[in-house]
Structure 1
Amino acid sequence: MSLKLYGVLRSRATRPAWTAMELGLDFEHVPVIQAYRLKDPAAPDAPLNTASPAFRAINPNGLIPSIDDDGFILHESLAISLYLARKHGGPLAPRDAREEGLVAMWSLWGMGIEADCLAIVQKRDAEAAAARLQAPFAVLDAALAGSGGHLVGGRFTVADINLAEVIRYAQPARALFEAAPAVQAWIAACQSRPAFQAMMKRREAEPA
């Protein structure tokens, strides 16, 4: 098996895992837990974690996810998803330079709102975070309403995966989605996909 994905799915590793499953790729999942979740990451019986020398040899940043694609090492969840789609092609991937630009734009746009989305799911000043998200949600809602319900090319692409996995963190703030019906319909459609559901089933099987 040439493709390895390092990282537990209770992390941003969901993005490349979902992408790989949409593409039908056979990959080895190597669980690497965040060191901060362990009492003693350096203990002899500690599971493979982001502070383990064995993992730091793969990613010296000590962050998940990473992949090893037949010797090609790549880090950062968005970069990995974009790489897998670009390499394997099909409808998930951009068809031309303009679509590639749009896929990158929406993926990076998601990074701009990720902190507030995370604050909601982590219950850290969630009300203020939801208030800050009202304006970007309105922008996304208008874009989706005007483009047939997808971000790029009128079809499901890796841009939808990358952004949907950011927006998922905000789902406890129901009023945000009720005020943005196109966003609400889009996230529901994304999460109804068999590959997403299969990925989440694996995620939910992991220790919390």
Structure 2
Amino acid sequence: MSLTIHGIAASRAVRPLWAATELGLDFHHEKLDYQGGGTRTPAFLAINPNGHVPAVVDARPDGDVVVWESMACALYIARHHGLADGVSITPATPREDAEALRWSFWAVTEAETDALTVLMHRLVMPEERRKPALAEAAERRLAVPLCVIEQHLQRQKDAGQAHLAAARFTVADLCVASVLNWARPSRTLMADHPLTHDWILRCMARPAYVQLREFD
């Protein structure tokens, strides 16, 4: 089998790249930037007609499997290229699998848009182009889902489990942290949700994530 991941780490492709790196997989990285028209070529559109990265192509004996959407890509890699051994990032039980699914979808529907707004208007964009009012509105909205995950992390802590789905780091943490990390430039949100802030920092400190700097 041969796994190819299209996209750079400075995009949502960070999710499948991180998953593959956590699992120690031998994969081909196609450094396709989302800027400059690279995702609009006929060759790439044949893989993902939406014209977005990431895209994963898994060449299997029974035929190629193509996956779009960053969360789906990461979850697919964990499920089909990892071992459900209770050690790796792959969910090992139905409960862990359910946690990975629900929290990954939750991150996209409840947090991603506003977290990206915070990142752009608090940190990434040139200062003269930032709109503090947009960041402030996004932070107010994010306070609601961050309370949800803060409460969950407290329950996990009380049960002796340091991560979203288990005591160990799993693909659930990977997917959600990759989104909530964008909200870190908001000092208020991080101060108001200390368990979430600490959990994000622990996820981002993982060697596999640090290694992703090589993938841009």
Normalised by the size of structure 1, how large is the TM-score? 0.88
User: 1-side partners of 2:31 and 2:22: how far apart?
Assistant: 20
User: 2-side partners of 1:8 and 1:133: how far apart?
Assistant: 27
> Does 2:182 align with 1:173?
no
Match of 2:68 in 1: 75
The residue type equivalent to 2:75 in the other structure is L
For residue 202 of structure 1, report the CA deviation from its aligned partner.
2.2
- Which 5+ residue runs of structure 2 have no aligned equivalent? 122-130
User: 2-side partners of 1:191 and 1:33: how far apart?
Assistant: 22
User: 1-side partners of 2:202 and 2:10: how far apart?
Assistant: 22
The residue type equivalent to 1:21 in the other structure is T
Q: Deviations over 1:10-44 (max 9, x none)?
A: 2100001011000000111101222xx32xx3xxx
Q: Deviations over 1:111-161 (max 9, x none)?
A: 121000011111151111011111211111111121033100222100000
User: 2-side partners of 1:191 and 1:27: how far apart?
Assistant: 22
Normalised by the size of structure 2, how large is the TM-score? 0.85
The residue type equivalent to 2:11 in the other structure is S
User: 2-side partners of 1:105 and 1:65: how far apart?
Assistant: 21
User: 2-side partners of 1:18 and 1:94: how far apart?
Assistant: 16
- The alignment of Structure 1 onto Structure 2 pairs a total of residues equal to 192
> Does 2:23 align with 1:28?
no
User: 1-side partners of 2:10 and 2:210: how far apart?
Assistant: 14
Match of 1:143 in 2: 152
* 2:206 corresponds to which of 176, 193, 196: 193
For residue 69 of structure 1, report the CA deviation from its aligned partner.
1.1
Match of 1:95 in 2: 92
Q: What does 1:1-208 correspond to in 2, within 5 Å?
A: 2-34=2-34, 37-38=35-36, 41=37, 49-70=38-59, 71-87=64-80, 88-89=82-83, 90=85, 91-112=88-109, 113-123=111-121, 125-148=134-157, 149-199=162-212, 201-202=213-214, 206=216
User: 1-side partners of 2:92 and 2:72: how far apart?
Assistant: 18
The residue type equivalent to 1:52 in the other structure is T
User: 2-side partners of 1:187 and 1:143: how far apart?
Assistant: 14
Where do 4+ consecutive residues of structure 1 move more than 4 Å?
A: none
Higher helix share: 2
SS at match of 2:66: strand
The residue type equivalent to 2:16 in the other structure is P
RMSD: 1.4
